[in-house]
Amino acid sequence: MSNIDQVKEYLLGLQNQICNSVEKLDGDAQFERDAWQRADGGGGESRVLTNGKVFEQAGVGFSHVFGDKMPPSATKHRPDLAGESFQAVGVSLVFHPLNPYVPTTHANFRFFTAGEENPVWWFGGGFDLTPYYPFHDDVLHWHRTARAACKPFGDSLYAEYKDWCDTYFYLQHRDETRGIGGLFFDDVNAAGFDDSFAFLRSVGNAFLPAYQPIVESRVDHEYGDRQREFQLYRRGRYVEFNLIYDRGTLFGLQSGGRTESILMSLPPRVRWEYSWQPDANSPEAKLYDHYLRPRDWLGEQQ
């Protein structure tokens, strides 16, 4: 079994595990499966759950694509690989809950190989959380789980990849982070294949333990029109980030991927409002004042 086959086997299993857990968590809706093929090589399977009791929309996509030339988005930081053949395998997910007190979340786990004579490979991925009405205990749980996933591979990795997440999921035109962060990593290969793959699995296996308890704690929280309207407004930031900055979206579109599968990360309902500002000292202002900026969450006591 080749290296990429090992990763593919793990990621397919991870997709199954996450989908099964989300269906149980939702208790109502089920994922629809949509297999697709890419004309230039490869394909995948998109799984989408809609109009559930807990999740308004949840998407978990697997893809394995290959081609003769790396897309520009994949070589922006690796210009030496421009024009090389490539293979990419990955799982990407975004969950948009119905209840505004349950955060949106995103995760991605991927493996690239490029070139034939002297192939270069690397892992990338991570997970992040986008709350609308944050609970500090949830933020601490999320980051503690992320830190625990990194710890066996080095004491400095959590801080490094947490900072990278804060930097990456940052909307420059809004001067705010997308949410409260998590982990983001790319170009992981220095430790060799076995240890690098073990790190990817550790982070991948940590996603459900990080997210599921938060959903279970907040799903029955009462909400009204005000909270729902704010959730839809803040989802607009998610759209802005994915269409302006997200590498995965750009890679999928530039590599000739399936558009519906690439854009399933977008929320099913969203709104924008011109020059909206939260009322001072309101729950909505709390998000802006305390959570949409990088913070050393695990070093703070409040």
**What does the angle CA 243 – CA 284 – CA 176 come to, to the nearest 5 degrees?**
40
Per DSSP, the three-state class of 94 is strand
For residues 62 and 17, what is the distance between their CA atoms, to the nearest angstrom? 13
Which of 64, 77, 96, 106 is the catalytic position?
106
| CA 58 distance to own-chain centroid | 12
Q: How many CB atoms lie within 10 A of CB 281?
A: 9
Q: In what order do the strands lie in the sheet with 120-130?
A: 32-37, 42-50, 55-67, 86-97, 104-114, 120-130, 181-188
Q: Are 63 and 42 in contact (CB under 8 A)?
A: yes
Q: Are 264 and 61 in contact (CB under 8 A)?
A: yes
Active site residue 106: yes
Report CA torsion sign: 64, 67, 72, 74.
positive
List the catalytic residues.
106
